[in-house]
């Protein structure tokens, strides 16, 4: 099966790019679906899974709690979720061609020889994108968003480090790095799809 993984800076349009790429190529698309499915299998709340897995919570637990019973239980639970996640990613990659956004899939699925894409953009562009797609009630001020973007990126970086021992956003870990500053995602997707298909053939 052919696998495309997408790592992305928050606000760079990586998710839209992944979705459009999957639609164009006829691949399955996995993003939040992953937490939903883990939650279903483990009979847990998807939001809890997302918060505690994709936000680098394990690291925080290790730093902030001593070796108390409660912390150990939490850690055990989180490891179970991680193991389930790795199993699920491998199942998905074996089942059909797919695009997977985030979740350190490039590293977890290394043996599937995925095409690994990194999507980035300058801060001004990312703030504007967040303002465009932000929800009512969120802090959509420039400074508020810049702070939020940096925080999310830093958590993604921590998460990747935890899984892979590698830094985040290092060119050499990816096959193609795309700067979306000032671009319409839908216009660049056909070229990236062609590139990825050639790479995966």
**Nearest distance in Å: CB 53, its own copies:** 27
**Nearest distance in Å: CB 179, its own copies:** 5
Q: At 140, list the tokens.
A: 């959509």
**Nearest distance in Å: CB 171, its own copies:** 5
* Cβ-based neighbours of 67, under 8 Å, separated by 6 or more: none
CA separation for the pair 87, 108 (Å, rounded): 10
CA separation for the pair 29, 160 (Å, rounded): 21
CA separation for the pair 164, 179 (Å, rounded): 24
| Residues near its own copies, by CB under 8 A | 118, 120, 122, 169, 171-172, 174-179, 181, 183, 187-188, 190-192, 194-195, 198-199
Q: Which is nearer to its own copies, 53 or 105 (CB)?
A: 105
Q: Which is nearer to its own copies, 66 or 165 (CB)?
A: 165
CB-neighbour burial class of residue 36 (10 A; exposed 0-12, middle 13-18, buried 19+): middle
Q: Which among 115, 93, 127, 104 is positioned nearest to 178, based on CA atoms?
A: 115
Q: Which is nearer to its own copies, 63 or 171 (CB)?
A: 171
Q: Which is nearer to its own copies, 90 or 175 (CB)?
A: 175
**Nearest distance in Å: CB 172, its own copies:** 7
């Amino acid at each position: 099966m052919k696998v495309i993984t997408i790592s992305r800076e928050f606000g760079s349009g990586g998710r839209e790019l992944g979705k459009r790429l999957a639609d164009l190529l006829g691949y399955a698309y996995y993003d939040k679906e992953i937490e939903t499915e883990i939650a279903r299998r483990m009979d847990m709340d998807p939001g809890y899974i997302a918060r505690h897995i994709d936000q680098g919570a394990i690291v925080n637990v290790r730093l902030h709690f001593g070796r108390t019973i409660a912390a150990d239980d939490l850690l055990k639970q989180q490891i179970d979720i991680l193991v389930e996640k790795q199993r699920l990613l491998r199942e998905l990659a074996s089942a059909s061609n797919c695009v997977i956004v985030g979740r350190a899939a490039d590293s977890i699925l290394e043996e599937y020889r995925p095409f690994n894409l990194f999507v980035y953009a300058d801060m001004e562009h990312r703030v504007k994108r967040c303002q465009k797609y932000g929800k009512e009630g969120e802090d959509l001020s420039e400074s508020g968003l810049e702070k939020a973007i940096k925080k999310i990126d830093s958590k993604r970086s921590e998460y990747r480090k935890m899984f892979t021992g590698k830094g985040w956003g290092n060119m050499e870990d990816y096959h193609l790095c795309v700067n979306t500053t000032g671009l319409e995602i839908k216009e660049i997707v056909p070229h990236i799809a062609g590139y990825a298909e050639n790479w995966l053939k």
